Amino acid sequence: MYKLLIFEIALYTFWRLSEYRHDILFYMKIIVKIVILALVVMGLPRFIQGIDVSGFYYAFLAALAIGAVNLFIKPLISLITLPVNVLTLGLFGLLVNGGLLWLVAYYLPGFSITGFVPAFIGGIIVAFINWLVSKF
């Protein structure tokens, strides 16, 4: 009797904490996006010389860092570089993506980029995959 009551209380508490079922799906989508981005970061060294990842742990950390940089720093830099971005018809945004990827690689051990050209190409690939994943 008491076990059933404790189970019902726990179930009700869980249901109230996630008041809407779409909250759980929202968090699951975020986790799936991070894992897909980590897999993309793991695959970058196979296609681009100059990018090195030590393992999946560092790729996962890089995916988290890329997500944080895209969330907090990229809007500010995009706002600052808006006039140049308008003049180049959006192509300067690709340079910003490469620069931010290079920034993540600079501060994260286990994930390194040796030059700007690999960072630029990697930024294009990461931006394309992020765009593709956001459509689903």
This model's pTM is above 0.85: no
Phi-psi region at 49: left, alpha or beta (left = phi > 0; alpha = psi -120 to 50) = beta
Question: Helices marked H in 1-136 — which ranges?
Answer: 2-17, 21-47, 56-72, 74-80, 82-87, 92-107, 116-134
The residue type at 21? R
Mean pLDDT estimate for the chain: 85
pLDDT in tens, 29-76: 888 899 999 999 999 999 999 999 999 999 999 999 998 998 899 999
> Residue 13: is its pLDDT beyond 80?
no
Does pLDDT of 82 surpass 60? yes
**Amino acid 7: pLDDT:** 55
Query: Which range (6-15, 62-71, 119-128) has the least confidence?
Result: 6-15
CA angle at residue 22 from 16 to 28, to 5 degrees?
105
**Residue 14 confidence (pLDDT):** 58
- Can you read off the two tokens belonging to residue 46? 């196979």
Q: What is the pLDDT of residue 28?
A: 81
Instruction: Assign 9 a pLDDT band (cuts: 50, 70, 90).
Output: low
* pLDDT > 60? residue 3: no
Inter-CA distances, 108 with 19, 46, 60, 86, 128, Å: 37, 19, 11, 32, 22
**Which position has the higher pLDDT, 32 or 22?**
32
